[in-house]
Structure 1
């Protein structure tokens, strides 16, 4: 029995069909993009402010705190806005204790829940006639501006004229002037 040889034109037609199918489903643009990394969607700022000063007052009309920053960039996020701060400074005022000054290199502000987060070289200090100056140093400090409450789980150094205390974690009620060091507390006191 003799085997039939395929006709040459059938091979050419089959090759053209396969080539046409590939051309319709894979364009040069698709092939070029397949290996390219996917870029995240770039969000543009909603508001950009230079030299911002924000003041907040209590129910009796007294100044409660101020928030200053060299630069603020707000981004729209769902129901509110999130802002990045450059060189933020917060001043808390209270009738019960001396004012607290808080500064950092960077920060974030969240409009939905009155939260400010200070990052990088955070310094908080207060000066009273009775106790002198007290300075706190840490890398991150979360602040509830309405309650004048600050906390961190990072290492903290607390310095005064006569003592130097180190710990991990801090809870501070700045309005009442109370602080709690959370763990690994070590200190040196010089009378």
Structure 2
């Protein structure tokens, strides 16, 4: 009889243990997923960083300034294969693209320099501004922007607002060739134009 009681107690304990394990949250028991969800720390941090890039003929092509850079080099365990493992997060980026006498100035609150260094994603209060010959400004504002500084191209799928001395335009999606001073709004374009 004592053997049957011990056997029943063992089975009941085992069932309760399995139920507890199966219904418990992962935070309590821990799991292999915790390693992937662990905080990722930057490889390097720079404050008040600036860099200049020169064209092949020695002229200043563009200048980049940021209040803070956080550089990440993720391992295979930290990021899936399709995700960019080398990138730099940017606080308060300012990019000045030189083109003739009137450079373009691009500002945002946040940004991300992708591993290849050929593109910069910007978001939060993105502003592109160029001073005209008359001393007035053409200004573009959007929420998110991709800049290709070597090609002097900016593009977005977000809403864009353009203010210039001649009027105001809005549209959804944009491709801007800053070297040619050509801005193409891709859809839902509306605007007002001052008479000439």
TM range (shorter): 0.7 to 0.9
Within 5 A, what are the aligned runs for 1:112-123?
A: 112-123=116-127
Within 5 A, what are the aligned runs for 1:172-187?
A: 172-187=176-191
Give the whole-Å Cα distance in 1 for the aligned partners of 2:38 and 2:134: 54
Corresponding position of 1:82: 87
Residue 169 of structure 2 is aligned with which of 165, 170, 179?
165
Q: Deviations over 1:7-50 (max 9, x none)?
A: x1331241354368679x86xxx849931446512111101111
Spell out structure 1 runs of 4+ moving beyond 6 A. none
Give the whole-Å Cα distance in 1 for the aligned partners of 2:185 and 2:40: 39
Q: Based on CA coordinates, which of the two structures has the bigger radius of gyration? A: 1
Give the whole-Å Cα distance in 2 for the aligned partners of 1:33 and 1:76: 36
**Structure 1 portions without partners, runs of 5+:** 1-7
Give the TM-score of the pair, scaled to structure 1.
0.82
Aligned residues between the structures: 179
Q: CA deviation at 1:131?
A: 8.0
**Structure 2 portions without partners, runs of 5+:** 28-32, 76-83
Give the TM-score of the pair, scaled to structure 2.
0.80
Asked if the contact 1:150–1:172 (Cα under 8 Å) also holds between the matched residues in 2, the reply is yes
Q: CA deviation at 1:98?
A: 2.2
